[in-house]
Structure 1
Amino acid sequence: MKFKTIEWLGDRVRIIDQRGLPLKENYLDLRTPEEVYDAIKNMAIRGAPAIGVIAGYGVALAALRDGSKEQILNKIELLSKSRPTAYNLFYALERMKKIVESGAETDKIIREAIKIHNEDIEICNKMGEYGSKLLPEKAICMTICNAGALATGGIGTALGVFYKAKEMGKVIKVFVPETRPFLQGARLTAWELMKNGIEAVLIADGAKAFILQREKVDAIFVGADRIALNGDTANKIGTFGLAINAEKIGVPFYVVAPSTTFDRTIKTGEDIPIEERNPDEITHLNEIRIAPEGIKVKNPVFDVTPHSLIN
């Protein structure tokens, strides 16, 4: 990767500020759990695996700043309220909580956070290797949102498939829907793929079905924010519709996600909490109003794809 999404620096964690991409490649040094909370809440960092990794480091920072068990547990509670849908957040915090409750010293708490990060790197590599074997030597693919290195601690989930395929010498072309309203496809995935030498073609969200129909797409790879026991999968809004299009047109639809995204307490997708964000994300673009004043807005940022639509 030609950039680092998350980097532990001993007394702070450095992240690329994804809000500025693709125009500005700025980095933030986070030194407190409160700063980590704000970075997650305000989308400086996003993507379920990356949120889990940075949350682990948030607990490590709490241990560095105040080693008392009570205070660290309070910061874990704070971090758990940053985003409601991404399960990796809660998985990582539960692991960190067990270490803290065991009475571990600060060094052990930090090592656990680093371990969560390293595990995500390895998992991403393995998923990429598995997925790349599904592709022909010359492949046309589609994704949605951003499920790459920007969304994880490693090379990515869905985009990791493309990176590993490229390493194998395969020629990959990826259609990238813009992914309204936060434009993760246009701002992040297009930037990331281009930066790492993958041919990317940006398309409007409404063009997905037409492109699948006309461009002979070989496969669709998407990430996930939470997966129920039956395989129902929550991902960026628009994923469900993309899966319906894929089934109708006959394009394989794959979800690429680590085991840390599976919520074993939820039986079906009906029980997955769906985050709704600020209406301004729909009514404004770069702080310029693009919708009538007073219009009612509903802004769910995830939907749930039934397991029956997933290959």
Structure 2
Amino acid sequence: MLKNSTAQSQSRLQSILWQGSTLHLLDQRRLPLVTEYVVCDTADAVAEAIQEMVVRGAPAIGVAAAFGLVLAAQQGENLEEKATLLKAARPTAVNLMWAVDTMLQTPVSDWEKKAFALYDSDVLVNKAIGEQAQSLIPENATVIHHCNTGSLATVDYGTALGVIRIAHERGKNIHAILDETRPRLQGARLSAYECQAFGIPHTVIVDGAAPWVMRTRQVDCCIVGCDRVAANGDVANKIGTYALALAAKAHNVPFYVACPLSTLDLATPNGEAIEIEERSTKEITHIQGQLICPENTPVFNPAFDITPAALISAIITETGIITPPYADNLKALKSQGL
């Protein structure tokens, strides 16, 4: 069962707090209006928090799941069973599976230490992604960003939004155009919240405005995160990414994907083989509990889509920038043991 907490983080953007026998997760469903933590004291509660998007973002849910296994071990539960439960909470995000498998490959006595190692590593990896990307970001750049890929989606800094944050910290004159990201509005609620917190100039647009913005304004690039990269370079990311990539291609705007190496799924041949999570119809039919569609309206609510590799200009990781041909260059990474 999820429980509210009055615990406060040292940073208002700290999404994950470990208190020794409980996991405190910043409730991202309530931001930016309410800052509140949800307490998880069992692996089941962590799985529920991931499923209900209390915590979200591929790296963040991986770290949360790692601590969920620590809770299961502390309580003497069936660890394989709880690992399966946690993996099933968000089936598209490969970081979740990677983090759980990493824990299972570690002696149980070292699980808390390993979970903290994953936590700390995420910060270093995100900063490295941001540094690697700077060669692609001009001094005076307007960048379109989709969904939320910043501190709230990770332990800190973030992937694509972390690139923007580091560019801002370096003194580049950068302006972020934020897709609102329907239906849960992570761009409008969360990315705008982060940009405001860090003083990054930004403008929120509706998702459908992005092609017009590319046509009528100078846009230097689009940069997004992702939840899984297939062996051929196809990418699964928040629904709306595919449309943004098509628009970028039509307007000759570079389209970049920022992600840690843990998001690469070279065992999956292409995007067609990636399971796409479908979520509750109420995410579309209701806003803040208020019905906005006629009763019994049919709804299709995929949480993710697949962007073909041919639409992606480069994939930015913590070890470098990967360019086409992706099938060859991703295979080269695998041969190096990465």
Contact residue 2 and residue 196 of structure 1 kept, 8 A: no
The aligned runs of 1:1-311 (5 Å cut-off) are 2-66=12-76, 71-100=78-107, 104-105=108-109, 108-311=110-313
- Structure 1 residue identity aligned to 2:286: H
State the SS of the aligned residue for 2:175: strand
| Residue identity in the other structure for 1:36 | V
- Normalised by the length of structure 1, the TM-score is 0.95
**Partners of 2:239 and 2:304 within 8 A in 1:** yes
Which amino acid in 1 is paired with 2:147? C
**Once the 2 structures are TM-superposed, how far is the Cα of residue 199 of structure 1 from its aligned partner?**
1.1
**Cα displacement (A) at 1:57:** 0.8
Checking the alignment, whether the CA contact within 8 Å between 2:13 and 2:194 is kept in structure 1 is: no
Runs of 5+ in structure 1 lacking a partner?
A: none
Given that 2:147 and 2:186 are in contact with CA atoms closer than 8 Å, whether structure 1 keeps it comes out as yes
Query: Hey, what's the Cα distance between the residues in 2 that align with 1:147 and 1:229?
Result: 22
The separation in 2 between residues aligned to 1:144 and 1:76, in whole angstroms, is 30
Q: Gaps spanning 5+ residues in structure 2: where?
A: 1-10, 314-338
Helix, strand or coil: the match of 1:156?
coil
Is the Cα contact below 8 Å between 1:18 and 1:44 reproduced in 2? yes
Q: Check the 8 A contact 1:19/1:44 in 2, yes or no.
A: yes
Q: What is the CA distance between 1:2 and its match in structure 2? A: 4.8
Q: Which moved more, 1:45-54 or 1:57-66?
A: 57-66
SS in 1 for 2:178: strand
3-state SS in 2 of match to 1:247 = helix
Is 8-17 or 151-160 further displaced after alignment? 8-17
Please report how far the alpha carbon of residue 132 of structure 1 lies from its aligned counterpart in structure 2 after TM superposition.
Answer: 2.4
1-structure distance, mates of 2:297, 2:39: 38
What is the CA-CA distance between 1:166 and the residue it aligns to? Answer: 1.4
Separation in structure 1 between the aligned mates of residue 298 and residue 71 of structure 2, nearest angstrom: 40
How far, CA to CA, are the matches of 2:165 and 2:189 in structure 1? 19
Deviation (angstroms), 1:28:
1.9
CA drift of 1:292 comes to: 1.1
Give the TM-score taking structure 2 as reference length.
0.87
Q: Percent identity?
A: 44
